[in-house]
Structure 1
Amino acid sequence: MAVNLYIPPESHIFAVAGVEIGTAEAGIRKANRRDLTVFRLAEGSSVAGVFTLNRFRAAPVQLCEAHLAAGQGIRAMVINTGNANAGTGETGLQAAKDTCQALAGLLGIEPAQVLPFSTGVILEPLPVDRLTAGLPQAIADLQDNNWFAAAHSIMTTDTQPKIVSQRVALGNNTITITGISKGAGMIRPNMATMLGYLATDAGIAPDLLKEMVRSIADRSFNRITVDGDTSTNDSFIIVATGKSQVRIDSTSDPLYEPLYTALADAATELAQKIVRDAEGATKFMTVQVEQAKTSEEALKVAYAVAQSPLVKTAFFASDPNLGRILCAIGYAGIADLDVNGINLWLGDVLVAKNGGRNPDYQEADGQRVMKEPEILVRIALGRGDVSDTVYTCDFSHEYVSINADYRS
């Protein structure tokens, strides 16, 4: 069951001018479910993305990177669920190319103007015939505000759709930002088994958007972890159609910062929703590390705590066995860490002080916090003035069940 995951009503999901979306039942893995999504983008849209660092990068990821580098102007995206088309070699790459060729032919564009995405089971051939047979149905369904259907269509083990949508005043104009994401397991920073799509009708210069998408990913999707597994298919895309009156070409534009912040906030909300709906999650945890020398060491500590199975299972049980957190801090990889300078809070409760148990700490206070659905773990290293934050969840029995039965 998702932890405090907000799904906006459809009346609060706003169309982005220049984006049309259609979905279809292609039977990629299971019958009677929408598992194919097509985005058609207005000519002149800027599109940029970041992708998984897994060396077994899926065929569609390889093709996305090639098509973005070709610079012909992306006009469409196609997403299938049920099959990752990863670990499929040259056959899989050809299947991704065939998908782009088929969609391009139906839309009257070039194959290099199509970005393909897949998510699902790894090491199985993509049923490309079923996929391409479903494309006409998806195209017939193209609508300017089909985000809600698309959020459902891209789901795999997700239990809830993940959508964010807002209208933002910029200067004398108003822009729209709407996006969707999917992901519930095999989630780790440097992208995760997740897909994220964020669109705005603001105009953003292509080179500037490339910089923005990397920076925004680092602030959002690269700050989440569920189980420490980095997937083969992770992708995060930002589309800027330029259909509003706002056009930004450089960071010196006075509207750049508020636009960047709005996009980053939307991406962070989508990323957090992945953690809130993580496989079997019952608690949403924020791990905040402060007083570090560098962001790198703050993140080392945050991820060590956030990805520890012992920490995560203790939180599931609401068991304040908080020595597990100190243990994770200690093996995070900071060779000269002085543990005598560390303070640890659980919510508003000071648990450890100067590297040892706080004399005033009562286990009942720790248990009170651990029973909450949202928990802040705050760690002060006493080494500097840098802070960073990672979002994670607990490990439950249900996580094991979901992943044990994933292919059945």
Structure 2
Amino acid sequence: MLPVPKGYKFASFAAGFKYSGRDDLALILSDTPAAAASVFTKNKFQAAPVTVGKEILAESRIVRGAIINSGMANACTGAEGIADCRESLELAAKALGINARDLLPSSTGVIGPRFNMDKWRAVASRLADGLNAVDPVKAAKAIMTTDKFPKLAWGEIKCAGKTVRILGMCKGAGMISPDMATMLGFITCDAGVEPAWWQEALRRCVDKSFNAITVDGDTSTNDTVIAFANGASEVTVDNDEHRTALEALLLDVCQQLSYMIVQDAEGGTKVMTIDVCGAASDADAELIVRAVGNSPLVKTALFGEDPNWGRIVAAAGRSGAEFDPEKLTLSFGKIIVFEKGKPVQGDLDALLEPVMRKQDIDIFITLGDGEGHSVLKASDLTREYISINADYRS
């Protein structure tokens, strides 16, 4: 059984929003009010649940949980979509006996269609009864769209002789290129925290996890990560030592989840970690990791297990980053293939053949002696990705 943080209940339901014969609505509820930290998409087309969620959190960072539907994004639906989102919260809150402002909405799926509110009304009547069993795996399955498997990660630390737990879940396989990836993430923690610090900690952890992956270069209208902390462990994290330990655990859970997204990339077979150091700035290093990680030429070579280093240095060269090409060094794992402006002599294809057969492939790029550094995880690009997205709405 999963080590669920104290004071949380999970549930899932088959509402029939889009999928037939499977759960497509998940509920996460804390028994007591919880501090909520959040990050949302920067896409200018922000889905109704993002807009409504921001409004709720602007009033108070103390809530009870989240309700998440899959299949319909409720994005680009105008004022009507906002009204539908608010009504769905009212229906859920009434059934659960709480205030609508205590629930945060999230949606994922096809952009454009409006909710069928009759289906929301029908499922709302079942919400309270569905909270009897704690089963986060079912909740994680309910929020999936093109995901091949549910994504959960967890861990615990000791503080003041007591156990503090974190459990996170997320969904995402395509439309992934974070700017806060289609991705949703929900994290539960039973520590007591100061809301402002919790928000800062989540932001730092997201920048090193969900914001450091790419599948296809697309940022969604619905990207959301929310972290709850309800204090049910009876541990209040209020000193630097405990804050450092809890943030390290939060980062570990976020990085496990974000790795799973790249691992589960639509049609994906490889996970490429691009590590750029020696840049003039972190911003320059990030330009290069994203140019390489989002390059269709690099990604298709990765799928074909072809160590085509020329595509990588070409991507670095067009990234917009400032560097001296004569100082760039490129290696696949520990094998250097390019340095001082030219390829290393030898049968590189033979040397790299076993490296390229692996699922996880590390690409290291050194630009010079600057302090700039950035790391990005990226998937390959396959025929199956094209097939999935060509038929997504059918």
TM-score tier, shorter chain, comes to: over 0.9
3-state DSSP of counterpart to 2:350: helix
Q: Deviations over 1:377-405 (max 9, x none)?
A: 11001141332210011001000000011
Q: What is the letter of the counterpart of residue 357 of structure 2?
A: K
1:364 aligns with 2:350: yes
Whole-angstrom CA distance in 2 between matches of 1:388 and 1:372: 23
Partner of 1:5: none
1: distance between equivalents of 2:378 and 2:188? 26
Kept in 1: contact 2:329–2:339 (CA 8 A): yes
Matching residue of 1:116: 105
Matches within 5 A, 1:80-91: 80-91=69-80
**TM-score using structure 1 length:** 0.94
Structure 2 CA distance, aligned partners of 1:172 and 1:354?
A: 54
1:349 and 2:335 aligned: yes
Structure 2 match to 1:307: 294
Q: 1:146 to 1:39 in 2, by over 3 A?
A: same
Structure 1 distance, partners of 2:130, 2:3, is: 18
1:232-251 matches, within 5 Å, as 232-249=221-238
1:266 corresponding residue in structure 2:
253
- The answer to whether the 8 Å contact 1:19/1:144 transfers is no
Deviation at 1:144, TM superposition (A): 5.9
Q: Describe the shift of the 1:58–1:340 C-alpha distance in structure 2 as closer, same or farther (beyond 3 A).
A: same
Tell me how far 1:364 sits from its aligned partner: 1.2
**Number of equivalences:** 394
Equivalent AA in structure 1 for residue 303 of structure 2:
F
Secondary structure, aligned partner of 1:298: helix
TM-score of the superposition, structure 2-length normalised? 0.97
Corresponding letter in the other structure for 2:143? I
What is the alpha-carbon distance in structure 2 between the residues aligned to residue 143 and residue 292 of structure 1? Answer: 53
Secondary structure at 1:254's aligned position in 2?
helix
Q: Deviations over 1:100-150 (max 9, x none)?
A: 111111122222221010000001112222123212323311146311111
Is residue 136 of structure 1 aligned with residue 125 of structure 2? Answer: yes
Q: Which segment drifts farther, 294-303 or 223-232?
A: 294-303
Q: Percent identity?
A: 39
Q: Is the 8 A contact 1:201 1:241 kept in 2?
A: yes
Runs (5+) with no aligned partner, structure 1 = 1-10
Secondary structure of 1:203's aligned partner: coil
C-alpha separation in 2, matches of 1:205 and 1:178? 19
Alignment of 1:229 with 2:218, yes or no, is yes
Which of 184, 190, 201 lines up with 1:201 in the alignment?
190
1:47 corresponds to 2:33: no
What corresponds to 2:282 in structure 1? Answer: 295
Residue of structure 1 aligned with 2:3, choices 14, 17, 30? 14
Query: 1:72 deviation in Å?
Result: 6.8
Deviation digits for residues 241-296 of structure 1, max 9, x if unmatched? 101132124xx532111110000110111011011001000111111111122221
The range that moved more, 304-313 or 182-191, is: 182-191
- Matches of 1:347 and 1:182 in 2, distance apart? 29
Would the aligned equivalents of 1:203 and 1:240 in 2 still touch at CA under 8 Å? yes
1:107 — aligned with what?
96
Computed over aligned residues only, the root mean square deviation of the Cα atoms, in angstroms, reads 1.4
Displacement, 1:189? 2.0
Give the residue type in structure 2 aligned to 1:394.
Answer: D
Verify: 1:318 aligned to 2:310, yes or no.
no
Equivalence map 1:279-290=2 (5 Å): 279-290=266-277
